[in-house]
């Protein structure tokens, strides 16, 4: 049974930082592209970042967010710096099995999802 469990969300002031974690179990972690998505109230779920052998970011977080993975711990991280109120959303971890270097940035491509963690940035 595949499980993705996010943690690290919370309330932070604009300009602050948070570090999200996603622990995976039940899958061969190093064969998967891992991604972060977010969904704000009334909006569609949007891609934030992904990591396999390389990293990829949506334009709005480039230079502020850093995605990383620790294959030994089957965990990915999202370091979020210089947070803005528009970053407020529920953040989801997702996984898709991959054997190539394509960028997986569509939610429909991902097979497994976590339950989400709330990030709130106050102005």
pLDDT in tens, the chain (123 residues): 999 999 999 999 999 999 999 999 999 999 999 999 999 999 999 999 999 999 999 999 999 999 999 999 999 999 999 999 999 999 999 999 998 878 899 999 999 999 999 999 999
Number of CB atoms found within 10 A of residue 97's CB: 12
- pLDDT for 99: 86
Number of CB atoms found within 10 A of residue 76's CB: 28
31: tokens are 């064969």
CB-side exposure of 123: number of CA atoms within 13 Å? 2
How far is it, in rounded angstroms, from Cα 93 to Cα 91?
Answer: 7
Measured in degrees and rounded to the nearest 5, phi and psi for residue 39 equal -140, 120
How far is it, in rounded angstroms, from Cα 30 to Cα 45?
Answer: 25
How far is it, in rounded angstroms, from Cα 37 to Cα 92?
Answer: 5
95: tokens are 């996984």
């Amino acid at each position: 049974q595949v499980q993705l469990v996010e943690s690290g969300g919370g309330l932070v002031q604009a300009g602050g930082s948070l570090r999200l974690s996603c622990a995976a179990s039940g899958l061969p972690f190093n064969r998967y592209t891992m991604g972060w998505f977010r969904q704000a109230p009334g909006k569609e779920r949007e891609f934030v970042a992904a990591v396999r052998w390389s990293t990829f970011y949506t334009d709005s977080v480039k230079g502020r967010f850093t995605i990383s993975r620790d294959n030994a711990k089957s965990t990915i991280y999202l370091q979020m710096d210089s947070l803005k109120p528009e970053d407020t959303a529920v953040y989801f971890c997702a996984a898709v099995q991959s054997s190539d270097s394509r960028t997986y940035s569509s939610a429909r491509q991902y097979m497994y999802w976590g339950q989400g963690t709330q990030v709130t940035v106050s102005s």
